[in-house]
């Protein structure tokens, strides 16, 4: 009987020689090792610096040893942890308020961008009780430019819930954290692990990338999230779970990057299936992106003779909720003309109080699910009866910094200023 067809001989070969699971150098190398191990079952020695893997489907399951994997991660973190404004120093107890604030800010936002905002918020509101006592307008104004403004509204609601429901003390359990406004599964796990050292599985975008490469997960995101979390949970240590989570975040941000990962600097490269097959950048697999539609609107810069400009507040719910804006038509895919826009937005008789409208350079902006094109129109108002205009506040342009203007509206402001030379 051929050696390849003899299960006992195959089993003996696997038992006699150490094989590093999930570390492949290609099918040819695997075949060569198996052949030699069968021909010389007692004399063949595997070189220490060469790792092999059985790539046959369903033959051997990939399982990086949990203790050695997490130990390698934590050893790396002890030497290379990033120093970040919200991160406690070694030996210090993390501040749950700092952890929560930073995690909310870091959603869909880079570390570089968040740093100054985090410092500004701590200066304005040193404690969660201070934030709870602040008006929502102040929170939105300080948040302006950070994007995803629903986070700011939920930040304020959560601060109130912590201040009133927990006497200013953050709960430590994941289920209690999940009940707070704006706190989802990831944020709850992160706060519980980092601030209270609970053994929770934390999975952000960086960690998704590491786990998907570690196991070469072919399921595309977002469908793969459950599978990735299941694998990640098996590797999460019981001790130092917070440091472990932050270490993976750091490795994902600085080593296991989306493009050109530095596998030579990775402390767990020996466990990585994608790293050994050389197709790291293929993971995580992502579903094809849907084509974003483009919506359009006319936005009005309404200016009185004294230089004041009209600002309106958006509804609390929905996109840019509670933020200030220049009045505009509805954001629709259909194009709308300036005259039609004026007739739809303002009361009858508005034109007799104005000079001829002046159009400015088109403003383009992209949200998560659609592109937006705004056509700025400057209208100088000569009359004093402003009751025919949308309700809002008249503000001097030099005072705009005191209002919660989102990035989109600062683009409109720049287009108007540029158009005036």
Q: How far apart are CA 52 and CA 38, in angstroms?
A: 15
Q: How far apart are CA 244 and CA 86, in angstroms?
A: 16
Q: How far apart are CA 83 and CA 60, in angstroms?
A: 40
Quick one: CA dihedral 409, 318, 191, 189, positive or negative?
Answer: negative
Smallest CA-to-CA distance from 325 within 420, 419, 416, 404 is with 404
Q: How far apart are CA 129 and CA 162, in angstroms?
A: 8
Contact 225, 57 (CB under 8 A): no
Q: Dihedral, CA atoms, 376, 147, 293, 327, nearest 10 degrees?
A: -30
Neighbour-count burial of 57, counting CB atoms closer than 10 A to its CB (0-12 exposed, 13-18 middle, 19+ buried):
exposed
**186's tokens:** 């990831």
Angle subtended by helix axes 96-106 and 111-124, to nearest 10: 140
The catalytically annotated residue of 15, 61, 92, 103 is 103
103 in active site: yes
Give me the active site residues, please: 103
């Amino acid at each position: 009987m051929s050696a390849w067809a003899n299960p006992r001989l195959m089993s003996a070969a696997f038992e006699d020689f150490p094989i590093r699971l999930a570390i492949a150098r290609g099918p040819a190398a695997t075949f060569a090792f198996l052949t030699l191990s069968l021909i010389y079952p007692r004399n063949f020695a595997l070189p220490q610096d060469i790792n092999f893997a059985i790539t046959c489907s369903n033959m051997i399951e990939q399982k990086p040893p949990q203790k050695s994997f997490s130990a390698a991660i934590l050893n790396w973190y002890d030497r290379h942890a990033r120093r970040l404004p919200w991160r406690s120093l070694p030996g210090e107890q993390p501040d749950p308020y700092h952890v929560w604030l930073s995690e909310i800010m870091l959603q869909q936002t880079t570390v570089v961008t968040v740093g100054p905002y985090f410092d500004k918020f701590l200066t304005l509101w040193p404690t969660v009780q201070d934030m709870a006592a602040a008006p929502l307008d102040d929170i939105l104004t300080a948040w302006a430019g950070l994007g995803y403004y629903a986070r700011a509204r939920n930040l304020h609601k959560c601060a109130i819930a912590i201040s009133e429901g927990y006497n200013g003390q953050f709960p430590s359990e994941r289920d209690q954290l999940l009940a707070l406004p704006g706190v989802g599964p990831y944020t709850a796990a992160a706060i519980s692990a980092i601030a209270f050292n609970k053994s929770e599985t934390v999975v952000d975008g960086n960690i998704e990338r590491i786990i998907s490469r570690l196991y070469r997960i072919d399921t595309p995101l977002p469908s793969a999230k459950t599978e990735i979390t299941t694998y990640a949970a098996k590797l999460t240590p019981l001790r130092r779970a917070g440091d472990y989570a932050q270490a993976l975040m750091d490795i994902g941000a600085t080593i296991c990057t989306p493009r050109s990962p530095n596998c030579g600097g990775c402390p767990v490269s020996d466990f990585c299936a994608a790293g050994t097959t050389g197709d790291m950048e293929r993971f995580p697999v992502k579903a094809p992106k849907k084509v974003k539609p483009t919506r359009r609107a006319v936005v009005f810069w309404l200016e009185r003779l004294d230089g004041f400009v009209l600002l309106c507040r958006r509804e609390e719910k929905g996109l840019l909720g509670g933020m200030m804006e220049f009045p505009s038509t509805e954001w629709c895919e259909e194009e709308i003309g300036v005259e039609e826009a004026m007739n739809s937005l303002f009361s009858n008789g508005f034109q007799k109080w104005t000079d001829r409208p002046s159009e400015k350079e088109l403003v383009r902006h992209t949200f998560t699910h659609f592109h937006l094109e705004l056509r700025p129109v400057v209208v100088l108002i000569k009359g004093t009866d402003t009751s025919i205009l949308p309700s809002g506040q008249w503000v001097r342009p030099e005072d705009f910094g005191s209002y919660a203007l989102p990035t989109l509206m600062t683009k409109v402001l720049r287009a108007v200023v540029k158009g005036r030379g």
